Amino acid sequence: MTAPGITGLPAVWSEDCLRHDPAGEVWLGVWEPGTEVPERARVLLEALTQAGASVTGARRHDPDALLAVHDDELVDHLATIWAQWEAGGYERDYGRRRVVPYVFPTPGLLGGLPLRSPAATHGRAGRFCYDTMTLVGPGSWEAIRAAADAALTAADLVAAGQRVAYALCRPPGHHTTKSAYGGSCYLNNAAIAAAALRRAGAERVAVIDIDAHHGNGTQAIFYDRPDVYYGSLHVDPGAGWFPHYAGYADERGRGAGTGANRNLPLAPGTSDDDWLAAVDMLVNEVRGRGTDVVVVSLGVDAAAADPESPLQVSPAGYRRAGELIGPLGPVVAVQEGGYDLPSLGGLVVATLGGIVTGARDAGAATTSPWP
Ligand code: SP5
Ligand code: ZN
């Protein structure tokens, strides 16, 4: 069998995505080498180029596109916290090389009090952050903004009639909610793309999240909405895995959004057959509901070699997932996790090849199907 290619597939990218260097992560109180490293993006770019993708620059978008899913205070915070940290001498005088929060305004702390903006920069550092693994430094904001622009540019291409487009987003996004970031994510690129597609005229958007982790941020952003479906398969948080507090099967949406959220938690060790059965369930649910466009949160950390998850999916499994998703409709694929540098590129190329093949075999139209 020849592996169907992705020649000419638009892959949207910005060099600015390399500028974010979290320089590790503080996990369980200890600073460790991180896995969400700039090299990930270099490896992906190289693999896509080798596979014949058409690398396209991310276009700068209006802040409105970010504010469609995020609070302006979160966006302002991400854009300015490093400059405040630097001006405060935290690095120069105290050797704190990155913004690492130490106080978090949890609901239990506030007890209903208004969320104030702490006077101290080190107090403010945790105001919109929920973990100690998601560090901010010089260049972080430029990369964060560029990743969102890449997702928006890919959404533009699909809204203009491109059947499949890929956004090489780094840093990833699916753990960020409307107003809180974490899990190596800052702005929610996939949610921003989904909202942009709605604004471009798609009446129904489906987000299918195949990253190894539950996309708690995307779920939270669309939890009350019937127009943006969110479906995810991921390692079971109930078995002890990040994001710990979300991703359970009984989370089905709320209010008008009831039924438009689906979580399929999987046991650690799950491999191709059961993982693909879960992908197929999401695909069938989306087909049954109907959708105008699909956003794929394309994390490849479910792969067997990945250091961040215990799922055991093969490259052939990822390709097959793409083939199952491809026939659903136009696809905007947004890069999420995936941390095994030697296999990362092949996994993404395989998934995209599957999506393109699935779309072609379904005889899908090349033009945008929504008015
Ligand atoms: C986008 C994405 O895939 N985010 C995943 C974040 C999950 N991180 C959990 C980290 C748990 C501890 N990792 C140990 C690595 C040691 N450096
Ligand atoms: Zn992940």
Q: What is the DSSP letter of 88?
A: T
Amino acid code (one letter) for 311:
L
Q: Would you call 35 exposed, middle or buried from its count of C-beta atoms within 10 A (0-12, 13-18, 19+)?
A: buried
> Which amino acid is residue 224, in one-letter code?
D
When pLDDT is averaged across residues 56-74 and rounded to a whole number, the result is 98
Cα 235 to middle of ligand 2, angstroms: 9
Residue 337 CA: nearest ligand 1 atom is 3
Count CB-CB contacts under 10 A for residue 168.
28
Atom number in ligand 1 closest to CA 243: 7
- Cβ atoms within 10 A of the Cβ of 248, count? 13
Give the pLDDT of residue 197: 98
- Rounded mean pLDDT of 10-31? 97
The rounded distance, in Å, linking the Cα atoms of 93 and 226 is: 50
Beta bridge partners of 254: none
Strand order in the sheet with 293-298: 54-57, 10-13, 164-167, 331-335, 293-298, 205-209, 228-235, 261-266
Q: How far is 340 from 229, CA to CA, in rounded Å?
A: 29
Query: 3-class DSSP state for residue 17?
Result: helix
**Angle at the Cα of 321 from the Cα atoms of 52 and 185, rounded to 5 degrees:** 80
**Contact of 237 with 246, CB cutoff 8 Å:** yes
Cα(286)–Cα(66) distance, rounded to whole angstroms?
26
Q: Burial letters for 137-162: b for 16+ Cβ neighbours within 10 Å, e otherwise? A: bbbbbbbbbbbbbbbbbbbbbbbeeb
Residue 1's pLDDT is 42
DSSP character for 163?
S
Q: How far is it, in rounded angstroms, from Cα 262 to Cα 252? A: 6
Whether 306 is in the pocket of ligand 1, judged by its Cβ within 6 Å, is no
Selecting among 61, 122, 175, 213, the annotated active-site residue is 175
Nearest alpha-carbon partner for 356 in 53, 13, 14: 53
Q: Give the mean pLDDT of 262-281.
A: 99
How far is the C-alpha of 291 from the C-alpha of 104, rounded, in Å? Answer: 38
Q: Tell me the whole-structure pTM to 2 decimals.
A: 0.97
Residue 309 has a pLDDT of 98
127: closest CA among 142, 140, 116?
Answer: 116
Task: Tell how far the Cα of 130 is from the centroid of ligand 1, in angstroms.
Answer: 13
Tokens of 67: 């504010």
Residue type, 176: T
The answer to whether 175 is a known catalytic residue is yes
- Closest ligand 1 atom to Cα of 184: 4
Q: Largest alpha-carbon pair distance within the chain?
A: 62
Per-residue pLDDT of 188-245, as tens digits, reads 999 999 999 999 999 999 999 999 999 999 999 999 999 999 999 999 999 999 999 9
Distance of CA 206 to the CA centre of its chain: 14
Tokens at residue 236, please? Answer: 């079971």
What confidence tens digit (pLDDT) does each residue in 255-267 have?
Answer: 999 999 999 999 9
Q: Which of 131, 308, 339, 340 to mutate to test the pocket of ligand 1 (most atoms within 8 A of CB)?
A: 308
The whole-number pLDDT of residue 371 equals 54
- DSSP 8-state secondary structure symbol assigned to residue 59: P
The alpha carbon of 308 and the centre of ligand 1 are apart by a number of angstroms equal to: 6
Q: Is the CB of 184 under 6 A from ligand 1?
A: yes
DSSP 3-state of 25: strand
Q: How far apart are CA 58 and CA 66, in angstroms?
A: 15
Split at pLDDT 50, 70, 90, the class of 370 is: low
206: nearest Cα among 163, 261, 165, 147: 261
Cβ of 323 less than 6 Å from ligand 1? no
* Mean predicted lDDT score pLDDT of the chain: 97
